[in-house]
Amino acid sequence: MIALVGAGLVLVLAVAAVFVFLVQGGDDGGGGGEEQLRVGKIAGGAEATPLADGGLTMARPGVTSPVVDIYEDFACPPCGAFDRKHDPMLKRLAVEGRAKVVFHPMLIFGEGTQPAHDNSLRAAAALRCVTDGAHWLSYQDALYAHQPANENATGYLTQDLLSYAEPLGLTGDEFTSCVKNQRHAASVKTVSQGYISSGIQGTPSVRVNGRTLSQSDTESPDALRRAIEAAA
């Protein structure tokens, strides 16, 4: 974990593993209004449910515990490393009905930390434009796959964010407008400040049933799985 305290914010990063579980996601999955959020179906019977605050819950119907909360910043390289290492295992647990996994994209960089702050904000705001859960997971994978090399590299430019979405079928006018206008940027900032106020001091951070895990608990997929199973 990398933690930078600046402008009242703390930092951390991640790169994602592309792990395809998607079965169906309705139409193009793009939009802007929270009232349009749609549950996406995942192979194996699990569901991907977008949340009003920009996060997403991944679980089989009826599974409520243990709850694994993942706090992530797309401009933070350690988050990318975490995603590559743990994402397949976390998705497997959700599909098998052994955990409820909740992703919380956030902005951990202060405004004075550029270009990381703006990179992160554009990526998180763009992801919120995806209103279908299955497409949301695919787009999250695409964001990590194209993560800037480090916090000093400019990335996630608007045209790039749109191009990453094209192979996923996210090409509708509503989605395109939402990304170009950064429709959800202000909300991303507000939600992120709420996470920080709740005790999130860096990304990636993992909580299981409300308890923040130590670095030793997340050093390997086996260690993380054991921590999750111990809370079941």
CB 79 within 8 A of CB 165: no
Show the beta-strand stretches assigned E in the chain: 22-24, 40-42, 46-50, 56-59, 67-72, 100-105, 205-208, 211-212
Over the chain (232 residues), what is each successive 10-residue block's mean pLDDT?
38 32 50 68 91 96 97 97 97 96 97 97 98 96 97 97 97 97 98 97 97 96 97 86
- Quick one: tokens of 64? 């409520």
For residue 63, CA distances in Å to 26, 47, 96, 105, 106 come to 23, 11, 10, 22, 25
Residue 232, pLDDT score = 80
Question: Which domains, ranges and CATH numbers included, belong to the chain?
Answer: 22-230 (3.40.30.10)
Partners of 47 in beta bridges = 41, 59
The residues that bridge with 211 in the sheet, in sequence order, are: 208
Residue 18: closest CA among 165, 143, 151: 143
Q: Which of 115, 112, 102, 129 is nearest to 188 (CA)?
A: 129
Residue 92: predicted pLDDT: 95
For tokens 């951990």, what's the residue? 108
